[in-house]
C-alpha cells in the first residue's frame, strides 16, 4: 500500500513542549506523595470517631435487644429487621387483637373487582405495565397502589380493618412474627411470590482495580451530610473529596462518582439499601431523625457525584479514579468492560445476589391475601403478569436472575399456596 504521502505529514513535536510536559509530570509525581502525609492525622481522627460511634450504636442495639427479648411476643428477628425508609430502627406498628366485626363487614362489602396494593414507589410502574398487558385480553380494574415502605405496608396488610390492603410488595421477606400477626388479625391465608432482585453496583473500567468498600465508606463518600469529625453530634456538609479522607485504608484517590439523576431507581436503591442502614447508626449520636433523613440519606449534589456522561464506559476508561453508580442490570450487560467494587468483601455477582450476601442488593416479594384472591377476577393472571413484567419495565432496575426463578414465581402466582414460616 503506497501511503508514503500520509507518513510524510508526521512531524516531531516541539522539543520545548516535550521537555516542559515531562517536567510537569515529574513534578506531579512528587506532589502526589504530599497529601498522603497530610491526611494521615485527619484520617486517624476520623477513624477514631467512626469507631466510637459504631461502639455506641452497638451498645444501644444490645440494650434494646435485651429489653425486647424479655417480651414473649416479640422475636429477635423483628428487632433486627432491616430498617425501612422513614422507619429506621422503628419498632413494628402495634396491632389490635383480632379483626373487629366492623372490619370484616367492610372487607366483605368491597366491590368484587376492586383491590388495593401497597409497596415501594419503584414498583408502581411495574403494576401499571402488568395492567396494560392484561387489558390486551379483556378488562381489568387497575388496583389502587399506595406507596409505603415494607414495615408500613405489612402493618396495612395485616390490619385489614383500617387499610383494606389486599396485596403488598416488600423489599424483604415477611418475618415470621409479622405473618403470625396477620393470622391474629384474620388474614389466615397469605401467599408469597418472589418478584425479583434489585441491586446497585459501584464499578470502574476493568482497566483499573476496583476497591473494596463498606456501606459506611459509601455514606462518607456519597451522603450530602455526615457527622462532623470535630463534633459527631452534628451533621455537616460532606467535606470528603478523596477516598483517603473517607477511610485511610483506601487509596487516596479523588472521589469521582458518575451516576444517574437523583430521581432514578438506582439512586433510590442506593439510598434505601445502603444509606438508610448505615446512616441509622449515627442516630444515637445525632439524635435528630428528621435531620438525619434529610441530610445523611440524601445524595450529595456537588461535583463529586455527577450525572453520567453519554458514553459512560468511555468515561470510565479515560478516568481511572471514576467509580460509577449503576444498577446491576447495566453492570451485567457490560461485565466484560467493568470491575465492580466489593462491598464488605462481597463482589456483585448472580450467586451473591441470589444468596443475599451482596450487601447492595435486595429481593422483592409480593404477599397476597389468598382468601380475597378468588373474589378478584383475574387476580392470578395479574400476579403472573407482575412476575413477567419485572424484567420488562424500563427504569426500575428490577430483574429475575434466571429462567428457573421466573418459572417458580410464575407457578407460585397461579397456585397462591399458603405461606408458613
Region from 25-33, 105-113, 149-157, 381-389 binding another protein, contact rule CB under 8 A? 25-33
Site residues for another protein, window 292-331 (CB under 8 A)? 311, 314-315, 317-321
CB 369 within 8 A of CB 378: no
31 makes contact with another protein (CB under 8 A) = no
Q: Distance between alpha carbon 63 and the CA centroid of its chain, in Å?
A: 28
3 makes contact with another protein (CB under 8 A) = yes
Name every residue whose Cβ is closer than 8 Å to that of residue 176 and which is 6 or more positions away in sequence.
Answer: 75, 77, 421
22 makes contact with another protein (CB under 8 A) = yes
As a whole number of angstroms, the distance between CA 88 and CA 68 comes to: 17
Region from 24-32, 99-107, 127-135, 236-244 binding another protein, contact rule CB under 8 A? 24-32
Size of the site for another protein (CB under 8 A): 36
As a whole number of angstroms, the distance between CA 16 and CA 247 comes to: 41
Nearer to another protein, 35 or 395 (CB): 35
As a whole number of angstroms, the distance between CA 205 and CA 14 comes to: 33
**Selection from 277, 273, 302, 270 nearest residue 292 by Cα:** 277
- What is the 3-class SS of 25-60, one letter each residue? HHHHHHHCCHHHHHHHHHHHHHHHHHHHHHHHHHHH
Region from 18-26, 151-159, 278-286, 363-371 binding another protein, contact rule CB under 8 A? 18-26
Nearer to another protein, 112 or 251 (CB): 251
DSSP state of 337: G
DSSP state of 271: I
CB of residue 369 to another protein, shortest distance in Å? 51
212 makes contact with another protein (CB under 8 A) = no
Nearer to another protein, 12 or 403 (CB): 12
208 makes contact with another protein (CB under 8 A) = yes
**Selection from 11, 55, 25 nearest residue 284 by Cα:** 55
**Selection from 314, 349, 308 nearest residue 326 by Cα:** 308
Return the ∠ at Cα 358 (arms to 357 and 361), rounded to 5°: 115
Sole binder of another protein in the list 44, 116, 209, 420 (CB under 8 A): 209
β-bridge pairing 305-307 and 398-399: unpaired
Grid cell in block for residue 258: 458518575
2 makes contact with another protein (CB under 8 A) = yes
Nearer to another protein, 307 or 418 (CB): 307
Region from 14-22, 75-83, 365-373, 391-399 binding another protein, contact rule CB under 8 A? 14-22
Per-residue x/- track, 226-265, another protein (CB under 8 A): -------------------------x--------------
Sole binder of another protein in the list 29, 102, 139, 263 (CB under 8 A): 29
Paired residues of 227 in beta bridges: 235
Site residues for another protein, window 32-61 (CB under 8 A)? 32
Interface with another protein (CB under 8 A): 1-3, 5-14, 17-18, 21-22, 24-25, 28-29, 32, 206-209, 251, 311, 314-315, 317-321, 339
Amino acid at each position: 500500500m503506497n501511503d508514503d504521502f500520509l507518513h510524510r505529514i508526521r512531524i516531531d513535536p516541539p522539543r520545548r513542549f516535550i521537555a516542559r510536559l515531562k517536567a510537569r509530570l515529574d513534578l506531579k509525581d512528587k506532589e502526589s506523595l504530599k497529601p498522603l502525609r497530610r491526611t494521615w492525622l485527619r484520617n486517624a481522627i476520623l477513624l477514631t470517631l467512626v469507631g466510637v460511634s459504631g461502639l455506641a450504636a452497638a451498645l444501644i442495639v444490645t440494650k434494646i435487644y435485651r429489653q425486647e427479648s424479655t417480651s414473649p411476643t416479640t422475636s429477635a428477628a423483628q428487632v433486627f429487621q432491616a430498617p425501612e425508609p422513614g422507619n429506621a430502627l422503628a419498632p413494628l406498628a402495634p396491632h389490635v387483637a383480632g379483626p373487629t366485626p366492623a372490619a370484616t363487614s367492610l372487607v366483605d362489602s368491597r366491590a368484587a373487582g376492586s383491590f388495593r396494593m401497597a409497596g415501594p414507589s419503584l414498583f408502581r410502574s411495574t403494576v401499571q405495565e402488568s395492567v396494560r398487558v392484561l387489558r390486551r385480553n379483556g378488562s381489568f380494574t387497575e388496583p389502587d397502589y399506595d406507596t409505603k415502605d415494607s414495615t408500613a405496608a405489612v402493618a396495612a396488610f395485616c390490619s385489614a380493618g383500617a387499610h383494606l390492603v389486599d396485596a403488598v410488595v416488600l423489599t424483604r421477606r415477611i418475618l415470621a412474627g409479622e405473618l403470625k400477626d396477620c393470622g391474629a388479625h384474620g388474614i389466615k391465608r397469605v401467599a408469597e411470590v418472589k418478584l425479583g432482585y434489585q441491586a446497585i453496583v459501584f464499578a470502574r473500567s476493568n482497566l483499573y482495580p476496583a476497591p473494596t468498600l463498606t456501606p459506611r465508606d459509601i455514606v462518607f463518600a456519597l451522603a450530602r451530610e455526615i457527622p462532623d469529625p470535630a463534633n459527631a453530634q452534628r451533621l455537616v456538609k460532606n467535606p470528603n473529596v478523596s477516598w483517603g479522607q473517607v477511610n485511610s485504608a483506601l487509596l487516596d484517590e479523588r472521589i469521582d462518582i458518575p451516576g444517574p439523576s437523583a430521581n432514578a431507581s438506582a439512586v433510590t436503591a442506593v439510598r434505601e439499601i445502603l444509606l438508610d442502614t448505615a446512616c441509622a447508626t449515627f442516630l444515637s449520636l445525632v439524635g435528630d431523625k428528621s435531620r438525619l433523613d434529610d441530610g445523611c440519606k440524601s445524595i450529595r449534589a456537588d461535583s463529586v457525584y455527577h450525572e453520567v456522561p453519554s458514553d459512560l464506559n468511555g468515561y470510565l476508561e479515560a478516568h481511572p479514579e471514576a467509580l460509577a453508580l449503576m444498577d446491576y442490570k447495566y453492570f451485567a450487560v457490560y461485565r466484560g468492560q467493568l470491575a465492580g467494587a466489593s462491598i464488605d468483601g462481597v463482589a456483585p455477582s448472580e450467586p451473591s445476589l441470589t444468596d443475599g450476601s451482596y450487601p447492595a442488593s435486595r429481593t422483592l416479594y409480593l404477599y397476597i391475601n389468598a382468601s380475597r384472591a378468588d373474589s378478584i377476577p383475574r387476580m392470578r393472571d395479574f400476579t403472573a403478569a407482575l412476575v413477567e413484567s419485572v424484567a420488562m419495565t424500563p427504569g426500575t432496575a428490577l430483574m429475575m436472575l434466571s429462567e428457573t426463578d421466573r418459572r417458580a414465581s410464575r407457578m407460585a402466582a397461579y397456585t397462591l399456596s399458603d405461606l408458613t414460616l
